[in-house]
């Protein structure tokens, strides 16, 4: 069990997401960085999609109520356990009464913004529509459908396997698979249904511009600022289905990228869709930073997804080998 001693706004319980519910008007929710979530669970011997604590405003403090393994992935936030620094992207062991503190990630062009605290067996909160993810807009899932706050307690589930133990750290995927354009973090995009209905200069500018993630951005959507996109003719559309990654263009020409808490329908034109394999990259982009878009083909999107699966499979092999070596020593 852990007790929350200090948490910023929007610290929530998230798993891989709530799928199969869009037809009921329920969005997916889930971890903004699915790769960090999966890696943290792999380190503990959990299923990749087990629920964890997603931290996006720091500092964050918890106290362990019992001896417990845990892992930290995502943003490197100078974590300390009773004052001792912890290696990021690795598993650790806490004793009852020890306090874990996650500090503010360092500034810089490679900064990431969300950290994940995973527990053996995952964070044990009730399942709602096949997921433990917090859906803030609907006020369900997670712990009472809300952000975590001081005094909350969370229990770990039943671990399927033994944690890898201390001493093994994974290379973060942003280092193993970097993607930038002119020194700016980038994500790949498939042109969408209304792409051709924008002027050629606007289409070119979309790929050329380094878009700023504005303070109006959150888990629902990233509102971007840059060279305004102009339609060839006014576009009026009925509301239609959307999913995380869809890039919509409102009348002011400043794109909005739908994120994990996106509503399942929208009426703005769709310029493109961030490929599934790059959603984690966008999910780690801090407010105020800039992002570039790279045009991708369907085959390239599938290849990128294969690359992620290969990284996760290799991480699981490393952890299994390390676990086996420790148990036989």
Coil, strand or helix at 173? helix
- CA 62/CA 15 separation, integer angstroms: 19
Q: Is the separation of the CB atoms in 78 and 98 below 8 Å? A: no
206 and 241 inside one domain? yes
Q: Are 206 and 75 members of one domain? A: no
Q: What is the β-pairing status of strands 184-191 and 290-295?
A: parallel
Instruction: Provide the domain count of the chain.
Output: 2
Task: Map residue 146 onto helix, strand or coil.
Answer: strand
d(CA 195, CA 203): 8
Q: Is residue 328 part of a domain?
A: no
The token duo for 186 is 């980038």
State whether 197 and 167 are in the same domain.
no
Over residues 81-126, the pLDDT tens digits come to 999 999 999 999 999 999 999 998 887 655 678 999 999 999 999 9
Residues 140, 203: one domain?
no
Residue 23 predicted with pLDDT over 70 = yes
Indicate if 69 and 167 belong to the same structural domain.
yes
Residue 148: per-residue pLDDT: 97
Q: Supply the range of the domain harboring residue 82.
A: 2-174
Residues 157 and 184 in one domain: no
pLDDT tens profile 201-219: 999 999 999 999 999 999 9
The domain that holds 282 is classified in CATH as 2.40.100.10
pLDDT value of position 174:
93
Side-chain-side CA neighbours of 156 within 13 Å: the count stands at 21
Residue 131, pLDDT > 70, answer yes
Q: Say if residue 146 is in the same domain as residue 29.
A: yes
Closest CA to 194 of 243, 246, 265, 260: 246
Residues 222 and 198: their CA atoms lie apart, in Å, by 21
Please name the helix (run of DSSP H) or strand (run of DSSP E) that holds residue 325, with its range, or none.
helix 298-328
Total Cβ atoms within 10 A of residue 213: 20
Q: Residue 271 and residue 193: Cα distance in Å, rounded?
A: 7
Whether 56 is in a domain gets the answer yes
Please name the helix (run of DSSP H) or strand (run of DSSP E) that holds residue 100, with its range, or none.
strand 99-102
Q: Give SS3 for 222.
A: strand
Report pLDDT for 272.
Answer: 97
Gap between the Cα atoms of 247 and 243, Å rounded: 10
Q: Average pLDDT, stretch 275-296?
A: 96
Q: Is residue 189 part of a domain?
A: yes
Looking at the structure, tell me whether residues 75 and 37 fall in a common domain.
yes
Angle, CA 118 vertex, CA 117 and CA 124 arms, to 5°: 115
pLDDT at 161 over 80: no
Q: Does the residue 307 lie in any domain? A: no
Together in a domain, 114 and 192: no
Shared domain for 192 and 160, answered yes or no, is no
10 shares its domain with 131 = yes
Q: Is residue 202 part of a domain?
A: yes
Buried b (16+ CB within 10 A) or exposed e, 124-142: bbeebbebbbbbbebebbb
Domain identity same for 198 and 164: no
| Domain-embedded: residue 269 | yes
Residue 164 has pLDDT above 70, yes or no: no
Provide the β-strand partners of residue 188.
Answer: 294
DSSP 8-class letter at 140 = B
The contacts of residue 48 (CB under 8 Å, 6+ apart) are 16, 37, 38, 41, 42, 312
Residue whose token pair is 């690795």: 90
């Amino acid at each position: 069990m852990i007790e929350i001693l200090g948490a910023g706004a929007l610290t929530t319980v998230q798993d891989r997401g709530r799928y199969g519910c869009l037809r009921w008007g329920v969005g997916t929710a889930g971890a903004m960085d699915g790769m960090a979530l999966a890696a943290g669970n792999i380190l503990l011997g959990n299923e990749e999609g087990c629920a964890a604590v997603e931290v996006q405003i720091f500092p964050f403090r918890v106290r362990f109520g019992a001896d417990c393994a845990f892992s930290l992935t995502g943003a490197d936030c100078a974590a300390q356990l009773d004052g001792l620094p912890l290696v990021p992207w690795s598993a650790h062991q806490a004793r009852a009464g020890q306090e874990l503190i996650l500090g503010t990630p360092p500034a810089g062009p490679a900064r990431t913004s969300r950290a994940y605290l995973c527990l053996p067996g995952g964070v044990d909160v009730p399942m709602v529509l096949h997921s433990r993810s917090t859906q803030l807009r609907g006020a369900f899932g997670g712990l009472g459908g809300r952000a975590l706050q001081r005094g909350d307690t969370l229990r770990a589930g039943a671990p399927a396997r033994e944690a890898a133990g201390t001493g093994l750290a994974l290379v973060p995927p942003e280092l193993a698979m970097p993607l930038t354009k002119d020194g700016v973090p980038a994500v790949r995009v498939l042109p969408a249904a209304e792409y051709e209905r924008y002027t050629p200069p606007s289409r070119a500018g979309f790929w050329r511009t380094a878009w700023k993630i504005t303070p109006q951005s959150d888990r629902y959507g990233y509102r971007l600022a840059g060279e305004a996109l102009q339609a060839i003719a006014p576009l009026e559309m009925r509301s239609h289905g959307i999913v995380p990654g869809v890039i919509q263009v409102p009348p002011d020409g400043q794109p909005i990228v739908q994120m994990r808490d996106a509503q399942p329908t929208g009426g703005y034109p769709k310029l493109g869709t961030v490929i599934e394999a790059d959603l984690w990259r966008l999910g780690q982009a801090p407010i105020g930073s800039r992002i570039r878009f790279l045009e991708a083909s369907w085959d390239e999107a599938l290849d990128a997804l294969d690359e992620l699966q290969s990284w996760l499979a290799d991480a699981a092999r490393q952890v299994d080998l390390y676990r086996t070596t420790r148990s036989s020593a």
